[in-house]
Amino acid sequence: MNRLDIKPGIDAVGAIDWDRRLFDSLIPTPDGTSYNSYLIRGSQKKALVDTVDPAMDYVLINNLDQLKIDQLDYIICNHAEQDHSGSIPMMLELYPEAKVVCTPKCKGMLIDLLHLDESVFLTVNDKETLSLGDRTLEFIHAPWVHWPETMVTYLREDKILFSCDFFGAHLAQSALYVQDGEIIYESAKRYFGEIMLPFRVNIQKNLEKLKDYKIDIIAPSHGPVHNKPEYILNAYHSWVYDEPKNIVLLPYVSMHGSTKDMVNYFVEALIQRGVNVKQFDLAVTDLGKLAIALVDAATLVVGTCTVLGGAHPFAASAAFLANALRPNLKFASIIGSYGWGSKAVEQITGALTNLKVEVLEPVYIKGHPHEEDFKALDRLADTIAQKHRQNGYK
């Protein structure tokens, strides 16, 4: 992010990373990202809320230099992950008088990850406050916004919530505030799906905790700032509370066309029965799209051919990812084909142990599908449509 004023004395001083295309060596970021950092100047003290990924620390340093900040009292660390904390050592070199303010758990993690000295810390309890003079920071512990140590920081007088990953989005844009609701919805849902989906219950608790606060602005540490916070709050509410939808996800991989023919037939069979389908060719798909879809779907059907006697590694990887994200799926199955023998069904079902799903009769066949195989796919489509109807999934 370029240096931008949110209000007099409150500046966004982080960095836009337009070119980043992969996060955690796993998560695609097709629209780049940003590492937002915020400088808050009170009448007596100055605080920096979160830093930036160390690869872009020069942007933060330059922004603080432009603002002529030669002294800093506090570095608020909402989250120990290095895309936000990684420039703390550099900030402490520039501002050795600053105290690092964080949860007790975060302190331990920062010592482990960044080798910070015990003496630099000021740990804060849940709802503890810190005065900057005419401005007051309140620290709200919000554990498991994908790591256990997380908190958010509420600036009382200005009603701004600095939420770090919570409500964030991997989206690079030059403007400070959200410009396009559809774009931010997709980016934020992608981010939610990729890292917060396994922690829906914790996110529910954290949303519940924030209900008591009047929030005019949500300033996350990735993506644009929300000056209409109800939009992202409502989106989160729906992602963590809504029942699954009448959707089947069908990630698949096929080598010579047999599994692909089954997928084509099965997708049509589901559509004819009023079931919505999202199909992903795992040879080319952006796994972030699969993560987005996992937020809402009721059923996962993995389509896989057989490689060396087992599931194709792409299919195994998709099943492993779905299992790790622990979405609210209710049903799962497998379709596909083998030449002379396969352990694919056991491998895929064995990879879904975190999910509380009913596994429906797989359709895993020898060779290219025959008439009876298509009939088996019809029966699987019937079962899914019936179960979705019975559960009232819309």
Query: Which positions lie near ligand FEO, rule CB under 6 A?
Result: 79, 81, 83-84, 146, 165, 222
Please report how close the Cβ of residue 151 comes to ligand FEO at its closest, in angstroms.
13
Cβ distance 17 to 34 under 8 Å? yes
Please report how close the Cβ of residue 392 comes to ligand FEO at its closest, in angstroms.
35
Q: Looking up tokens 């559509």, which residue turns up?
A: 271
Which residue lies nearer to ligand FEO by CB, 147 or 374? Answer: 147
Q: How many of the other CB atoms lie within 10 Å of CB of 158?
A: 17
Q: Looking up tokens 């922004």, which residue turns up?
A: 63
Please report how close the Cβ of residue 370 comes to ligand FEO at its closest, in angstroms.
49
Structure tokens at 16: 């836009």
Which residue lies nearer to ligand FEO by CB, 14 or 229? Answer: 14
Torsion sign across C-alpha atoms 96, 98, 103, 104: positive
SS3 84: helix
Which residue lies nearer to ligand FEO by CB, 55 or 360? Answer: 55
Please report how close the Cβ of residue 80 comes to ligand FEO at its closest, in angstroms.
8
Please report how close the Cβ of residue 126 comes to ligand FEO at its closest, in angstroms.
20
Residues 6+ apart with CB under 8 A from 350: none
Please report how close the Cβ of residue 13 comes to ligand FEO at its closest, in angstroms.
17
Candidates 118, 159, 119, 170; CA nearest to 137 is 159
Phi and psi at 307, nearest 5°, equal -125, 125
Which residue lies nearer to ligand FEO by CB, 165 or 373? Answer: 165
Q: What is the C-alpha separation between 11 and 234, in angstroms, rounded?
A: 26
Q: Which amino acid is at 304?
A: T
Which residue lies nearer to ligand FEO by CB, 50 or 373? Answer: 50
Please report how close the Cβ of residue 110 comes to ligand FEO at its closest, in angstroms.
13
Cβ distance 50 to 37 under 8 Å? yes
Phi and psi at 201, nearest 5°, equal -70, -40
The secondary structure of 268-280 as a DSSP string is HHHHHTT-EEEEE
Q: What is the C-alpha separation between 61 and 48, in angstroms, rounded?
A: 12
Q: What is the C-alpha separation between 201 and 227, in angstroms, rounded?
A: 26
- Which residue is nearest to ligand FEO, using beta carbons? 81
Which residue lies nearer to ligand FEO by CB, 144 or 185? Answer: 144
Candidates 55, 51, 64; CA nearest to 22 is 55
Which residue lies nearer to ligand FEO by CB, 88 or 315? Answer: 88
Please report how close the Cβ of residue 376 comes to ligand FEO at its closest, in angstroms.
43
Which residue lies nearer to ligand FEO by CB, 146 or 200? Answer: 146
Cβ distance 155 to 204 under 8 Å? no
Please report how close the Cβ of residue 146 comes to ligand FEO at its closest, in angstroms.
6
Which residue lies nearer to ligand FEO by CB, 84 or 330? Answer: 84
Q: What is the C-alpha separation between 349 and 357, in angstroms, rounded?
A: 10
Please report how close the Cβ of residue 24 comes to ligand FEO at its closest, in angstroms.
9
Candidates 341, 361, 362, 247; CA nearest to 296 is 247
Strands 38-41, 297-304: pairing kind: unpaired
Which residue lies nearer to ligand FEO by CB, 24 or 361? Answer: 24
